[in-house]
Amino acid sequence: FRDCVYLCLLNSGTSFVAGFAIFSALGFMAYEQNTDISKVAESGPGLAFIAYPRAVAMMPFPQLWAILFFVMIILLGLDSEFVGLEAIVTAISDTNPSFFHVGHRRKLLLLAISVFSFFVGLVMITEGGLYIFQIFDYYACSGMTLLLFASLQSFCIGWIYGADRFYENIEDMIGYKPTSLIKYCLKYVTPVICMVSQLKFTHSNDTVC
Protein backbone atom coordinates (compact mmCIF):
# COMPACT_ATOMS: atom_id res chain seq x y z
CA PHE A 1 0.00 0.00 0.00
CA ARG A 2 2.82 2.38 0.90
CA ASP A 3 4.61 1.56 -2.34
CA CYS A 4 1.46 2.41 -4.33
CA VAL A 5 1.25 5.83 -2.68
CA TYR A 6 4.93 6.50 -3.34
CA LEU A 7 4.51 5.38 -6.94
CA CYS A 8 1.58 7.75 -7.48
CA LEU A 9 3.54 10.64 -5.98
CA LEU A 10 6.57 9.77 -8.11
CA ASN A 11 4.43 9.62 -11.24
CA SER A 12 2.86 13.01 -10.51
CA GLY A 13 6.24 14.53 -9.70
CA THR A 14 7.75 13.18 -12.92
CA SER A 15 4.86 14.62 -14.94
CA PHE A 16 5.33 17.97 -13.21
CA VAL A 17 9.05 18.08 -14.03
CA ALA A 18 8.41 16.89 -17.60
CA GLY A 19 5.95 19.74 -18.02
CA PHE A 20 8.70 22.24 -17.22
CA ALA A 21 11.02 20.62 -19.77
CA ILE A 22 8.41 20.46 -22.54
CA PHE A 23 6.72 23.84 -22.14
CA SER A 24 9.97 25.71 -21.64
CA ALA A 25 11.11 24.41 -25.04
CA LEU A 26 7.75 25.12 -26.67
CA GLY A 27 7.64 28.57 -25.10
CA PHE A 28 11.08 29.37 -26.49
CA MET A 29 10.03 28.21 -29.96
CA ALA A 30 6.83 30.26 -29.77
CA TYR A 31 8.88 33.31 -28.78
CA GLU A 32 11.32 32.75 -31.65
CA GLN A 33 8.48 32.34 -34.17
CA ASN A 34 6.47 35.21 -32.65
CA THR A 35 3.35 33.05 -32.40
CA ASP A 36 1.08 31.51 -29.79
CA ILE A 37 2.36 28.41 -28.00
CA SER A 38 -0.76 26.46 -29.01
CA LYS A 39 0.22 26.89 -32.66
CA VAL A 40 3.75 25.52 -32.23
CA ALA A 41 2.63 21.92 -31.86
CA GLU A 42 -0.25 19.81 -30.67
CA SER A 43 -0.03 16.79 -28.40
CA GLY A 44 0.81 13.44 -29.91
CA PRO A 45 3.31 12.49 -32.65
CA GLY A 46 3.72 16.09 -33.78
CA LEU A 47 5.03 17.10 -30.37
CA ALA A 48 7.36 14.12 -29.91
CA PHE A 49 8.77 13.80 -33.43
CA ILE A 50 8.57 17.31 -34.91
CA ALA A 51 8.38 20.14 -32.38
CA TYR A 52 10.61 18.80 -29.62
CA PRO A 53 13.40 17.50 -31.92
CA ARG A 54 13.37 20.94 -33.55
CA ALA A 55 13.89 22.49 -30.12
CA VAL A 56 16.66 19.99 -29.32
CA ALA A 57 18.44 21.01 -32.54
CA MET A 58 18.79 24.55 -31.14
CA MET A 59 20.66 23.36 -28.03
CA PRO A 60 24.44 23.00 -27.67
CA PHE A 61 25.65 19.56 -28.83
CA PRO A 62 22.33 18.80 -30.57
CA GLN A 63 23.45 15.34 -31.73
CA LEU A 64 24.01 14.19 -28.15
CA TRP A 65 20.68 15.55 -26.91
CA ALA A 66 18.86 14.08 -29.91
CA ILE A 67 20.30 10.62 -29.17
CA LEU A 68 19.34 10.89 -25.50
CA PHE A 69 15.86 12.12 -26.40
CA PHE A 70 15.04 9.28 -28.78
CA VAL A 71 16.57 6.67 -26.45
CA MET A 72 14.22 8.04 -23.79
CA ILE A 73 11.28 7.68 -26.21
CA ILE A 74 12.24 4.05 -26.88
CA LEU A 75 12.54 3.28 -23.16
CA LEU A 76 9.18 4.91 -22.44
CA GLY A 77 7.58 2.82 -25.18
CA LEU A 78 9.11 -0.40 -23.84
CA ASP A 79 8.00 0.46 -20.31
CA SER A 80 4.44 1.05 -21.52
CA GLU A 81 4.53 -2.29 -23.34
CA PHE A 82 5.53 -4.08 -20.13
CA VAL A 83 2.47 -2.72 -18.33
CA GLY A 84 0.03 -3.39 -21.17
CA LEU A 85 1.25 -6.90 -21.96
CA GLU A 86 1.43 -7.92 -18.31
CA ALA A 87 -2.18 -6.83 -17.75
CA ILE A 88 -3.43 -8.83 -20.76
CA VAL A 89 -1.34 -11.93 -19.99
CA THR A 90 -2.35 -11.92 -16.32
CA ALA A 91 -6.04 -11.51 -17.16
CA ILE A 92 -5.97 -14.42 -19.63
CA SER A 93 -3.77 -16.74 -17.56
CA ASP A 94 -5.80 -16.20 -14.38
CA THR A 95 -8.97 -17.40 -16.12
CA ASN A 96 -7.41 -20.87 -16.36
CA PRO A 97 -4.40 -21.00 -14.01
CA SER A 98 -4.18 -24.79 -14.04
CA PHE A 99 -3.41 -24.65 -17.77
CA PHE A 100 -1.31 -21.51 -18.20
CA HIS A 101 0.78 -21.84 -15.02
CA VAL A 102 2.28 -25.15 -16.12
CA GLY A 103 5.70 -25.20 -17.74
CA HIS A 104 6.32 -22.46 -20.30
CA ARG A 105 2.71 -21.96 -21.35
CA ARG A 106 2.48 -18.49 -19.83
CA LYS A 107 5.63 -17.46 -21.68
CA LEU A 108 4.23 -18.87 -24.91
CA LEU A 109 1.05 -16.86 -24.35
CA LEU A 110 3.17 -13.74 -23.89
CA LEU A 111 5.08 -14.56 -27.08
CA ALA A 112 1.85 -15.04 -29.05
CA ILE A 113 0.41 -11.71 -27.87
CA SER A 114 3.71 -9.94 -28.62
CA VAL A 115 3.85 -11.36 -32.16
CA PHE A 116 0.22 -10.37 -32.78
CA SER A 117 0.90 -6.85 -31.50
CA PHE A 118 3.97 -6.65 -33.74
CA PHE A 119 1.94 -7.42 -36.86
CA VAL A 120 -0.72 -4.91 -35.81
CA GLY A 121 2.03 -2.32 -35.42
CA LEU A 122 3.32 -3.03 -38.94
CA VAL A 123 0.06 -1.66 -40.33
CA MET A 124 0.89 1.72 -38.78
CA ILE A 125 4.15 2.14 -40.70
CA THR A 126 2.57 1.84 -44.14
CA GLU A 127 1.83 4.86 -46.34
CA GLY A 128 -1.53 5.42 -44.69
CA GLY A 129 -0.35 4.18 -41.31
CA LEU A 130 -0.32 7.61 -39.71
CA TYR A 131 -4.09 7.92 -40.18
CA ILE A 132 -4.61 4.45 -38.70
CA PHE A 133 -2.37 5.43 -35.80
CA GLN A 134 -4.37 8.61 -35.18
CA ILE A 135 -7.66 6.68 -35.24
CA PHE A 136 -6.24 4.05 -32.89
CA ASP A 137 -4.77 6.69 -30.59
CA TYR A 138 -7.99 8.73 -30.44
CA TYR A 139 -10.55 5.93 -30.07
CA ALA A 140 -8.58 3.23 -28.23
CA CYS A 141 -5.81 4.81 -26.17
CA SER A 142 -6.93 8.22 -24.95
CA GLY A 143 -9.79 10.53 -24.14
CA MET A 144 -13.22 9.02 -23.79
CA THR A 145 -12.00 5.41 -23.92
CA LEU A 146 -9.73 5.78 -20.89
CA LEU A 147 -12.44 7.60 -18.95
CA LEU A 148 -14.93 4.87 -19.83
CA PHE A 149 -12.57 2.11 -18.69
CA ALA A 150 -11.80 3.97 -15.45
CA SER A 151 -15.53 4.40 -14.75
CA LEU A 152 -16.31 0.74 -15.46
CA GLN A 153 -13.36 -0.45 -13.40
CA SER A 154 -14.40 1.63 -10.39
CA PHE A 155 -18.02 0.53 -10.75
CA CYS A 156 -17.17 -3.16 -11.08
CA ILE A 157 -14.76 -3.20 -8.14
CA GLY A 158 -16.72 -0.86 -5.89
CA TRP A 159 -20.26 -2.15 -6.52
CA ILE A 160 -20.35 -5.48 -8.37
CA TYR A 161 -17.39 -7.24 -6.74
CA GLY A 162 -17.83 -5.16 -3.60
CA ALA A 163 -15.49 -2.66 -1.98
CA ASP A 164 -15.62 -4.52 1.35
CA ARG A 165 -14.67 -7.81 -0.29
CA PHE A 166 -11.90 -5.99 -2.17
CA TYR A 167 -10.62 -4.61 1.14
CA GLU A 168 -10.58 -8.13 2.57
CA ASN A 169 -8.44 -9.25 -0.36
CA ILE A 170 -6.04 -6.37 0.28
CA GLU A 171 -5.91 -7.28 3.97
CA ASP A 172 -5.01 -10.87 3.06
CA MET A 173 -2.13 -9.58 0.92
CA ILE A 174 -0.63 -6.84 3.12
CA GLY A 175 -1.87 -7.83 6.58
CA TYR A 176 -4.08 -4.81 7.32
CA LYS A 177 -6.87 -2.78 5.76
CA PRO A 178 -5.98 0.56 4.15
CA THR A 179 -7.75 3.73 5.16
CA SER A 180 -11.47 3.89 4.41
CA LEU A 181 -10.95 7.00 2.30
CA ILE A 182 -9.80 4.86 -0.62
CA LYS A 183 -12.97 2.77 -0.41
CA TYR A 184 -15.22 5.81 -0.62
CA CYS A 185 -13.15 7.25 -3.45
CA LEU A 186 -13.46 3.95 -5.30
CA LYS A 187 -17.24 3.74 -4.81
CA TYR A 188 -18.30 7.36 -5.18
CA VAL A 189 -15.64 9.97 -5.97
CA THR A 190 -13.79 8.29 -8.84
CA PRO A 191 -16.89 7.16 -10.83
CA VAL A 192 -18.52 10.59 -10.49
CA ILE A 193 -15.37 12.45 -11.58
CA CYS A 194 -14.83 10.07 -14.51
CA MET A 195 -18.43 10.34 -15.72
CA VAL A 196 -18.48 14.14 -15.43
CA SER A 197 -15.16 14.34 -17.28
CA GLN A 198 -16.48 11.97 -19.92
CA LEU A 199 -19.61 14.05 -20.48
CA LYS A 200 -17.53 17.22 -20.65
CA PHE A 201 -15.07 15.59 -23.07
CA THR A 202 -17.89 14.36 -25.34
CA HIS A 203 -19.59 17.76 -25.29
CA SER A 204 -16.36 19.59 -26.19
CA ASN A 205 -15.75 17.24 -29.12
CA ASP A 206 -19.31 17.74 -30.39
CA THR A 207 -18.80 21.51 -30.17
CA VAL A 208 -15.57 21.31 -32.16
CA CYS A 209 -17.14 19.09 -34.81
Was 79 annotated as part of a binding site?
A: yes
Judge whether 96 is annotated as a binding position: no
Alpha-carbon distance 164 to 156, whole Å? 13
DSSP 125: T
On whether 76 is known to bind a ligand per the annotation, the reply is: yes
CB 22 within 8 A of CB 52: yes
Amino acid at 32: E
Q: CA-CA distances (angstroms) from residue 65 to 52, 72, 202?
A: 11, 10, 39
Angstrom distance (rounded) from CA 35 to CA 26: 11
Q: Using only the alpha carbons of the chain, give its radius of gyration.
A: 21
Identity of residue 176: Y
Specify the DSSP class assigned to residue 111. H
Binding residue per annotation — 197? no
What DSSP state is assigned to residue 43? S
Binding residues for Na(+), by number, are: 11, 76, 79-80
Binding residues, by number, are: 11, 76, 79-80
